[in-house]
């Protein structure tokens, strides 16, 4: 199947139904667009621009006509070799055609570069019959396939084409729902290839990654910096335990909790975006992009604080309270979580906080000066009774301010203001 037809079918659906739709480079609507900027590879089917990475994607959607009785594992193996070799040759030609210095320019901007090849195989029986049914073939590759059947060029790690089946990549996007988690896995996968490590298939490798120190190392590195600046007391013991040898069951349980909480976060966040849009006060795109550009572990920690509301005493719920959380994807992003008061006259009521969020973020910025944070978020959390049940619904607000250095006199004024508030 022609790649342009493929790009408008299952591949476009894959993009639109995942977070990748937020990051698709607009100029890559066709593979032959001559309007691309000088620092981007040309000719790839899709390009995705993350804050710290760029993904170039080639796709190959192939349908074969064969009798059901003629299809066996050896035939599928030959088809797999064919579709992958087509991708390898196409990538090699494109990479050679483009200026290789482009990779270096991306690296100089701290942009990691990934080249991904996706394949889809389908078979059509009774080809001579009108509206003959088509069946997708499920398959994966694994390290042995690339060692024996389709040898990848592994001399230059940065230009390696990482190949996945369509079904497999869909599952990867379902389990790794953020850009940073996806690119961390792509690093992990590429290292396995270039180090000639053996793995049965990509699903097995994904499961291994989700329980490996590689997944948690980003959060640990950020927490090491937070400890250094005395913003937290210690690295979370559960993170350290999950990276220890012999803790496979613990790591699996922790990952299951992270994935469950991430799903809960996305439901709340999607409702926030939808409510803001319907109220004709859409969240700024840059703010949405920053919130989406997080890690699953950060989302899990935010949800843990929301779930802890049910354990709070009635006074705290009545008067409202605040909690602090950090990004565990990057150092320098801070979340102030305000749990709205049930008392409408409280300074932490939803109405009061929404009206004074700029002042609250300015005060937070004054407190976070050693070091200065890059991003500051105020996440408002409101528990509302359901109209048709005894349950409660959770609604979020999100307000943003970039961190900034303030002079000593201004910081002193904020400190005096905080002392006065504490005395009231």
pLDDT per residue as tens digits for the range 93-103 = 998 888 655 55
Task: Enter the pTM of the model.
Answer: 0.87
At 110-132, the pLDDT tens digits run: 689 999 999 998 877 665 555 66
Report how far residue 382's alpha carbon sits from residue 342's, in angstroms, rounded to the nearest whole number.
Answer: 9
Q: What mean pLDDT is predicted for residues 175-187? A: 95
Is the pLDDT at 5 greater than 50? The verdict is: no
Say if residues 87 and 119 touch (Cβ distance below 8 Å).
yes
Report how far residue 239's alpha carbon sits from residue 215's, in angstroms, rounded to the nearest whole number.
Answer: 10
CA nearest neighbour of 46 among 77, 72, 21, 68: 21
Q: What mean pLDDT is predicted for residues 6-13? A: 74
Report how far residue 113's alpha carbon sits from residue 40's, in angstroms, rounded to the nearest whole number.
Answer: 11
User: Would you place residue 6 in the very low, low, confident or very high pLDDT band (cuts 50, 70, 90)?
Assistant: very low
Report how far residue 258's alpha carbon sits from residue 89's, in angstroms, rounded to the nearest whole number.
Answer: 39
Is the pLDDT at 259 greater than 90? The verdict is: yes
Q: SS3 of 399, please?
A: strand
Phi, psi at 408, each rounded to 5°:
-65, -40
Q: What percent of the chain has pLDDT over 70?
A: 85
Is the pLDDT at 1 greater than 70? The verdict is: no
Is the pLDDT at 135 greater than 50? The verdict is: yes
Is the pLDDT at 8 greater than 60? The verdict is: no
Phi, psi at 115, each rounded to 5°:
-115, 120
At 338-370, the pLDDT tens digits run: 999 999 999 999 999 999 999 999 999 999 999
Phi, psi at 371, each rounded to 5°:
-90, 175
Q: What mean pLDDT is predicted for residues 324-339? A: 97
Q: What mean pLDDT is predicted for residues 60-64? A: 82
DSSP conformation class of 138: P
Give residue 208's pLDDT: 93
At 64-80, the pLDDT tens digits run: 766 655 666 677 778 88
Identify the burial level of 363 via C-beta atoms within 10 angstroms of its C-beta, where 0-12 means exposed, 13-18 middle and 19 or more buried. Answer: middle
Rg (CA), the chain: 25
At 34-60, the pLDDT tens digits run: 444 556 778 899 999 998 899 999 999
Give residue 157's pLDDT: 84
Say if residues 225 and 259 touch (Cβ distance below 8 Å).
no
303-331 per-residue burial string, b: 16 or more CB within 10 A, e: under 16: bebbeebeeeeeeebeebbebebbbbbbb
DSSP conformation class of 17: T
Is the pLDDT at 30 greater than 80? The verdict is: no
Phi, psi at 377, each rounded to 5°:
-120, 140
Phi, psi at 37, each rounded to 5°:
-70, 160
Give residue 26's pLDDT: 65
């Amino acid at each position: 199947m022609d790649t342009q037809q493929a790009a408008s079918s299952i591949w476009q659906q894959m993009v639109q139904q995942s977070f990748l739709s937020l990051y698709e480079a607009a100029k890559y609507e066709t593979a032959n667009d001559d309007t691309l900027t000088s620092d981007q590879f040309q000719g790839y089917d899709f390009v995705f621009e993350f804050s710290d990475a760029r993904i170039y994607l080639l796709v190959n959607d192939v349908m074969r006509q064969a009798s059901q009785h003629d299809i066996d594992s050896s035939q599928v193996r030959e088809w797999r070799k064919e579709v992958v070799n087509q991708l390898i040759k196409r990538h090699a030609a494109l990479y050679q055609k483009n200026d290789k210095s482009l990779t270096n320019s991306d690296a100089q901007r701290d942009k990691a570069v990934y080249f991904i090849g996706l394949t889809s195989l389908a078979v059509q029986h009774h080809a001579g019959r009108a509206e003959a049914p088509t069946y997708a073939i499920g398959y994966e590759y694994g390290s042995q396939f690339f060692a024996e059947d389709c040898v990848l060029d592994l001399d230059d790690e940065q230009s390696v084409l990482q190949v996945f089946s369509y079904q497999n990549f869909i599952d990867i996007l379902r389990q790794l729902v953020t850009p940073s988690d996806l690119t961390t896995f792509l690093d992990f996968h590429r290292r396995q290839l270039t180090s000639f490590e053996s793995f049965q298939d990509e699903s097995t490798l994904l499961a291994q990654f989700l329980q490996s120190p590689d997944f948690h190392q980003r959060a640990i590195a950020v927490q090491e910096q937070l400890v250094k600046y005395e913003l937290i007391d210690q690295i979370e013991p559960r993170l350290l335990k999950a990276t220890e040898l012999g803790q496979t069951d613990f790591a699996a349980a922790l990952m299951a909790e992270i994935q469950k909480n991430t799903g809960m976060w996305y439901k709340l966040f999607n409702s926030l975006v939808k409510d803001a849009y319907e109220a004709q006060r859409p969240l700024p795109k840059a703010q949405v992009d920053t919130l989406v550009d997080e890690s699953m572990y950060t989302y899990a920690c935010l949800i843990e604080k929301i779930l802890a509301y049910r354990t709070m005493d009635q006074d705290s719920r009545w008067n409202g309270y605040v909690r602090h959380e950090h990004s565990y994807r990057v150092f320098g992003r801070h979340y102030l979580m305000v749990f709205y008061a049930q008392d409408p006259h409280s300074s932490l009521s939803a109405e009061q906080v929404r009206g004074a969020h700029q002042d609250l973020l300015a005060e937070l910025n004054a407190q976070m000066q050693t070091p200065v944070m890059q991003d500051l978020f105020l996440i408002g959390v409101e528990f509302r009774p359901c109209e048709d049940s005894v349950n409660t619904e959770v609604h979020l607000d999100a307000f943003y301010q970039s961190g900034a250095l303030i002079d000593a006199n201004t910081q002193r004024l904020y400190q005096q203001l905080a002392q006065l508030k504490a005395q009231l």
